[in-house]
Each structure stands twice: as structure tokens, then as C-alpha cells.
Structure 1
Amino acid sequence: MSRRKVIIDTDPGLGEPGSDIDDGLAIALAIRAPELEVLGLTIVNGNVTLSTGVHVARNLVDRLGVTDLPVLAGADAPLTRDMASVRALFDAVPGHGGPRDPGELRGPTAESDAADWMIEQAERYPGEITVLAIGPMTNLAVAIRRSPAFAANVREFVLMAGSATTYAQNITVVGDFNAYVDPEALDVVLRSGGRITMVGLDQTSRVLLTRDDADQMLASVDPFSKWVGECTHAWIDYLARAFPKRAEHEFGCFLHDPLVIAAHLDPGICQWDTAHVEVELISDLARGLVVADRGLSLTVPAPSNATVAVDTDVDAFRRLFLDRIALTPAPDPGI
């Protein structure tokens, strides 16, 4: 079987107190997928600081038994704005662990900048590499600006961003985290001319990892799955404190980024449509709003620049995810 080459561009927090676990679970799903050849992890500022994200990624690849997998450090801030307001949101929640002491952090596996490394890999394997971007798009934008050929050399950019069928309603009423943190970077990607697939929060918010799932992982014979079960309970506890009005966080957490990996592994998990996608840059009230015009408006639509997910087979996703992460088959929903 021919394995598809991928690079995962990510801001992982799995294992860091008070940080989202879905990036780490997406990384694990990709590494455990025999269909994929993960060339490396490129780390970007986002859910956690760049240095913490690199540290988390190094620990993850060790736990997953791929200690030689390259981990590259990329952008430590958005293209034009700082992260002060976003960090303030995290720090205001009781129980957030905050950043580690820098003395404890492990560094990248190479001195190469993440953007330069991605450019080099795309030149080495033109038309073969898919970039799975599950954090803010800063690293991708830097690579596109540095190399006019980068977007053309990449087979596909698969983005966890936006919302194709409704408003995202994530970090703001209209903006999802990845778009809001660096909409200028997302704009660069959308205008690059590269092949773009987008899985948005309208779909990823339909897939949950529950406390029952965490218990299933705790019962696994696999040490990584057991650890994920512990981290899942801890993350749901955090969400219940952070968002007391969100009833779903009493028993579960969203699997935003793993759905992106799963949809790349099996495109049949989602239904797709073409769209012209843009992101709002000017209005502070609507910063990070992603508009996906699927030609359904009364105006003449602009040419499509992306393929967007518009529906999801939740049961198919759960079967794939739990089979590979919990290492036990997910229950048949028909039973």
C-alpha cells in the first residue's frame, strides 16, 4: 500500500495542564494510520506558546514510539498582532496551569525553521505532500511568502478553520480559534492558489469524546491509550469549569482536529461542496469570521478556492477514531 505523505502543522497541548487535547489526539491518529507517512510536526504558536508546543510534541512522539520524527519550531506570534488578549482568556479560567518554567522545556529536533523545512520538503516531493494544518495558519503563510512555488508544490492544504454552514461561535460569536488568532495568515493561504480543503467548526463540533470513551481508553492494554483516558477526564473537568453554561462539557469535549485527520484518511466521513472562502480582517467585531460562499446567495458567486465540509457521518468517525486510539472497537451504534 502506498502511504500518503503528510506534514502536520499544529499547536499541541496534550499533557500540558489546562490545554486542549485535540491536537495531540489528531497527531496520534495520523501517526497510527498505516495509510499515512508523517514526515514531521511543524509547531506554531496558538493553544499554547511555541516553546510549550514544541515540548508537548517531543513528549508525544516519545509516547507514540516515533522518537526520530522531526519536530520543527515555527512562528512564535501571529503575522500582525500579539497574543495578549487570547492568553488573557485562558489565564482567567480557574485551574489553568499556565506555561511551564522555560528550564523544563525540550527544544525542537533541528535548528531549521518550520516554514523553511516545509518549503524544502515540498521541493523534494513536489505534488506529493498534504499539509494538515490544525492550528493558526502562521507557519503556512510564512512559507507561502518566502517561496512563490510552495503552494503549487504542496498537493493539498487541509485546514481546521471556519464554518461552511453556520457561524463558528467559538472564541467569538463568529470566529473560530485558528482563524481568530491569525486571520491575516489564513487570508494568505486562501489567496495562495493552492488546493485547499476546509473542515470547520460546524462539523467538528458534532464529534465528542465523552467520559465513557475516556473510561474505555483507561481499560485499554495500550499505555498511550490509558494516558489519553486520564488526560481526557482532566480536560473535560477543565471545560466544565471554564464553560459552565455549556451542558456538553459536563460529559465530553470536542474532537475538532481529529476529524480533520479522519476526513483526510477517509473523505467519505464528510460530505463536501465547493466554495469561495474569505476571512474578515478589518472589523474587530467580526475578526476571524470565515465566509464560505457556496453559490447559494442571490449575488453572483466568486470562483471557488476551496472544498468545504458540509456534513459529517459522526458514527463512522467515532468508529475509526476509537478503533485506532483506544485500540478497541467502538460499540456498534445499532446495538
Structure 2
Amino acid sequence: MTATRRIVIDTDPGLGEPGSDIDDGLAIALALRSPEVTVEALTVVNGNVDVDTGVDVARRLGERLGHPDLPVVRGADRPLLRDMAPVRALFDDVIEDHPVRTAAEDRLGPTTDVTAAEYLVELAAAFPGEISVLAIGPMTNLALALRLDPGFAKNVAEIVMMAGSATGYAQNITVVGDFNAYVDPEALAIVLAGGAKLRMVGIDQTSRVRLTRDDAAVLSRGDAFGRWAGECALAWIEFLSRAFPLREEHRDACFLHDPLVVAAFLDPSLCTWADAHVVTDTTSELARGLVVADRGLALAPPPGPPNASVAVDTDVPGFGRLFLDRLTGTSAGD
């Protein structure tokens, strides 16, 4: 029997939390329902939601998916240098009238006494070359792990991250910055320079994969988790269509940014990869979170040797088949 690959998912999950994106939770579900991998833990970082909400969401997801003992480790509650208030303010206009959770839904605490950075360092050191990290939130926990122990870069098998854009501008939280990079570009810069084996799946690729209303209906015909996830997906699509009425891409679908990262780890052939020297801007307010992936295509020599493999194309139908098959047992077809 082939041994499964061991992963930690570093995440800022909001699935089921009013006004929060659902793709992290669906990525976690995809991983937990894939026999090729063993999910060692979920490490939680501030991002889509605050870190304590993320811990709560992650634990509830583990329970819903039949993994109540899955370790959930609390990580950074803020970016390395910046305050989150300006980031939260960007969403105020679209989520202020969205329902909030009731006080009766008590927060659940973390399952370990160590921080996410400490956990990552200790696990990778105990099993060098065996643990891959799928980073689908801001990179703060990973940067703190590298600060704590630079040897983490050599001990971790691979970091596959959802960040940047290798083939164009991000066009996400700003014109040039995707959410994960924009929230903590200083952390991303540390990870890019840290020496770990890196793969980057950018928003240029993740914006090509979507969950439609029809797909949500397919989820709803599945098991208890599928029914709940389908309801959450339909509610999220409806929310996006009202919040962004002029954006065609939000009318009948939502993006599956983070599930593509998991899928690309499960089956690297779903993406086309290219070596690149990747850097991010940490100095300019106008270009905060800008990620440049130089693949040596410019006339000038690249600024440095390749430090990451970046996704430059995606098999969109192939991803759709894998995603729905794993979550429901039903293929999406072409």
C-alpha cells in the first residue's frame, strides 16, 4: 500500500461564518476526503476572519467532516507589522448588513498549548522531508516559523501557497495585491527568501475555477456535509451577487481559490508550472502586496535565481471533476 503524503493546512477559514468566504472550508474538505494525503493539523492564521473565529470554524469543520480529533492550532492574530483595521475597513460597506452570529454560539478554544509557528517547526523537525504545508491564508504563521527556526525551510518538504499572480495583475483586494499578499506582504517576503521548496498558485489561476449554483445543487444532493456546504455556497453566491451587482463573475458563481491549491498538491498535472524568481513589494503603499514572478521572459536578466515554481495555466475541467468527485462522488463533467 502506498503511504499517504502528510500535510498541514495553514488557513483562515470562514465557511459557515456570516459574511466570510467559503473556499478555505471547501479546501479543507477536499483534503480530508482525499486518500492520497493525511492532514496532520490545521494551523489557523488571522485573515478572512480573526484568528479566534478561524479556530472555532476549523474545529467545527473537523467535527462536520468526521474528524473531531483533528488538531487545530491557533496562530498569529495579526500581521507582522501592520494593523488589520484598514483591511477590515475595505469590507465594511458590503458586509455591514450581513447577519452576525449569536452570542449563544460559544467560541471553542485551540486544541494545543503551542503556537502555530512552534507546532510547524516541531513537526517538520521531527519528520524532516515528510511534512508539506498548504498555505491558503496570509503567510504570517510561516514567517514566524522561519524566524523561530531558519532550519524549518530545509525540514519542510514543500510549501504550496495561494498568493500573487504569475501571469498578470492580481485584480483582487487592490489592482495589484491579492488578499493573502496584501494582508501581510512582509511575511510573504520572508517566506519567499527563506529557502524552502515553494510552489505558488496565484489568483490568476484560482480565479478561473468557480463553484456555480448548479454545482452547489450537486453538493446539496450529497451527505450531511454536502447538504450544508451546498446551502452555504448558495448563500455566499447570493450575497456576492447583491454585494457586487456589476461584477459578472459573481452573478451565478463564487471562486474556489483555495481548493485549487489543494487540488494542485493532490495532482500537480492540473496546473502548468514554470520556475520563477518571485518577490513581493513591502515598501510602497500603492503597490502593497504586489507579487512579481520573473520567469526570465524579459529582456533584462532576472533579479535572482528561481525560488519558486509558479502555476501559469490550469486544467479547469479537470479540477472541476476532481473537486466534485471528492466532495460528492459525482463528476462535474466537461
TM norm. shorter chain > 0.5:
yes
Aligned to 1:45: 46
Q: What is the distance in 2 between the residues matched to 1:264 and 1:167?
A: 24
Shift of 1:328: 1.7
With over 3 angstroms needed to count, the CA separation of the structure-2 counterparts of 1:86 and 1:96, relative to structure 1, is: farther
Q: What is the distance in 1 between the residues matched to 2:54 and 2:314?
A: 29
Shift of 1:89: 2.0
Q: What is the distance in 2 between the residues matched to 1:6 and 1:110?
A: 18
Structure 2 spans left out of the alignment, 5+ residues: none
Structure 1 spans left out of the alignment, 5+ residues: none
Q: What is the distance in 1 between the residues matched to 2:100 and 2:188?
A: 27
Q: What is the distance in 2 between the residues matched to 1:186 and 1:326?
A: 34
Matched, 1:148 2:150: yes
Aligned to 1:67: 68
| Identity in percent | 63
Q: Trace 1:1-335 onto structure 2 (pairs within 5 A).
A: 1-94=2-95, 95-98=97-100, 101=103, 104-220=106-222, 222-301=223-302, 302-331=304-333, 333=334
1:110-167 CA-to-partner distances (Å, cap 9, x unmatched) read 1211110111100111011110000000000000001121111001010100000000
Contact 1:91–1:98 under 8 Å retained in 2: no
Structure 1 runs (4+) deviating above 6 angstroms are none
What secondary structure does 2:254 align onto?
strand
What secondary structure does 1:19 align onto?
coil
Q: What is the distance in 2 between the residues matched to 1:102 and 1:39?
A: 30
Q: What is the distance in 1 between the residues matched to 2:105 and 2:201?
A: 37
Q: What is the distance in 2 between the residues matched to 1:99 and 1:299?
A: 53
Shift of 1:219: 1.7
Q: What is the distance in 2 between the residues matched to 1:282 and 1:116?
A: 28
Q: What is the distance in 1 between the residues matched to 2:94 and 2:170?
A: 21
Shift of 1:329: 2.2
With over 3 angstroms needed to count, the CA separation of the structure-2 counterparts of 1:98 and 1:48, relative to structure 1, is: farther
Q: What is the distance in 2 between the residues matched to 1:102 and 1:75?
A: 26
Shift of 1:234: 0.7
Q: What is the distance in 1 between the residues matched to 2:134 and 2:60?
A: 20
Q: What letter is aligned with 2:198?
A: I
Shift of 1:85: 1.1
With over 3 angstroms needed to count, the CA separation of the structure-2 counterparts of 1:185 and 1:100, relative to structure 1, is: farther
Shift of 1:99: 6.8
Shift of 1:100: 6.2
Q: TM-score normalized by structure 2?
A: 0.97
What secondary structure does 1:68 align onto?
coil
Shift of 1:101: 4.4
Q: What is the distance in 2 between the residues matched to 1:206 and 1:147?
A: 36
Q: What is the distance in 1 between the residues matched to 2:81 and 2:100?
A: 24
Q: What letter is aligned with 2:212?
A: T
Q: What letter is aligned with 2:19?
A: G
Contact 1:6–1:39 under 8 Å retained in 2: yes
Q: TM-score normalized by structure 1?
A: 0.97
Q: What is the distance in 2 between the residues matched to 1:59 and 1:73?
A: 14
Shift of 1:48: 0.2
Q: What is the distance in 2 between the residues matched to 1:53 and 1:150?
A: 24
What secondary structure does 2:90 align onto?
helix
Contact 1:52–1:99 under 8 Å retained in 2: no
Contact 1:52–1:100 under 8 Å retained in 2: no
What secondary structure does 1:81 align onto?
coil
With over 3 angstroms needed to count, the CA separation of the structure-2 counterparts of 1:99 and 1:49, relative to structure 1, is: farther
Shift of 1:91: 2.5
Q: What is the distance in 2 between the residues matched to 1:303 and 1:246?
A: 38
Q: What is the distance in 2 between the residues matched to 1:100 and 1:297?
A: 54
Q: What is the distance in 1 between the residues matched to 2:249 and 2:6?
A: 35
Shift of 1:63: 0.2
Shift of 1:330: 2.0
